[in-house]
Amino acid sequence: MSFEGDYIVQSTPQLVDAAIVMAKRMAQVIDNGYQHQVQAGAASDFEKHWRGARFERAVADWSRFEWTGRDRLGANDVGPLECRASYKVVEFWWILHKQLEMKADKDYVFGVVPSNSRVVKFVGWVPGSFVLEHPEWQVPRITSRTSVSLDPRGRAGHWNVPHAELFNLDSLRRKHGAQTEEDMFSGNPLAW
């Protein structure tokens, strides 16, 4: 793996590791009968889980936090970080409402993971608590082909975090204790 600014170029072993995690998640989806809302640009649940596993692996390598979500669908993603990926830079980054409600204390890291490239790009982050301060970012839940509304408890379906509102990655490093790039890549998550 090589680090180039806020990019990671994933090695073959890293891609294989992410593929194993993706396969485990797909098995859990099938076993539990889950139906997911597909990410922007994802052709299928398969592609969604492939992109997600690759980004989580990249964030774990980048941050040196444990990849806590690798064995269980729905677990925290990487240490105190929640990971959201798209196939390209988008105007709005998506967080499901129920996830934000349960994990408002987490920091959300956003990135770009093209399906046909080893490069993973980190584009920014935002604290979950900051998102909750912006009710105008809520998007209603689609309840049928002809009806769009908030759910019975008044919650949105998801939040659209404007790309322009993302915090720069150096501030995430500082929040979690890194003073320099050397701290960041020291291998000690507490120093990070």
Instruction: Say which residue, 4 or 47, is predicted with more confidence.
Output: 47
For 93-152, the pLDDT digits (tens) are: 877 666 677 778 889 899 999 888 899 999 999 998 898 888 888 877 655 455 444 444
Residues 26-63: tens digit of each pLDDT: 888 788 776 655 444 456 777 888 898 999 999 988 88
Domain around 166: 2-175
3-state SS of 85-121 is EECCCCCEEEEEHHHHHHCCCCEEEEEECCCCCCEEE
Residue 36: inside a domain: yes
Residue 153 pLDDT greater than 70, yes or no: no
Q: How many domains does the chain have?
A: 1
What is the structure's pLDDT at 188?
A: 39
Q: Does 192 map to a domain? A: no
pLDDT at 91 over 80: yes
Average pLDDT on 1-7 reads 54
Residue found under tokens 């790009």: 121
Q: Is residue 159 over pLDDT 60?
A: yes
pLDDT at 24: 87
Distance, in Å, from the CA atom of 181 to the CA atom of 129, rounded to the nearest integer, reads 26
Give me the pLDDT at residue 43, please.
Answer: 62
Domain presence at residue 102: yes
The rounded Cα 19 to chain-centroid distance in angstroms is 17
Residue 26 domain flag? yes
What pLDDT shows up at residue 75? Answer: 72
User: pLDDT, tens digit, for every residue of 172-191?
Assistant: 888 877 544 555 444 433 33
Cβ distance 69 to 99 under 8 Å?
Answer: no
- CATH code of the domain in which 25 resides: 3.40.210
Flag whether 183 is in a domain. Answer: no
**Per-residue pLDDT tens for 11-30?**
999 999 999 988 888 888 78
pLDDT at 28: 81
Asked, for residue 182, whether it belongs to a domain, the answer is no
pLDDT of residue 171: 86
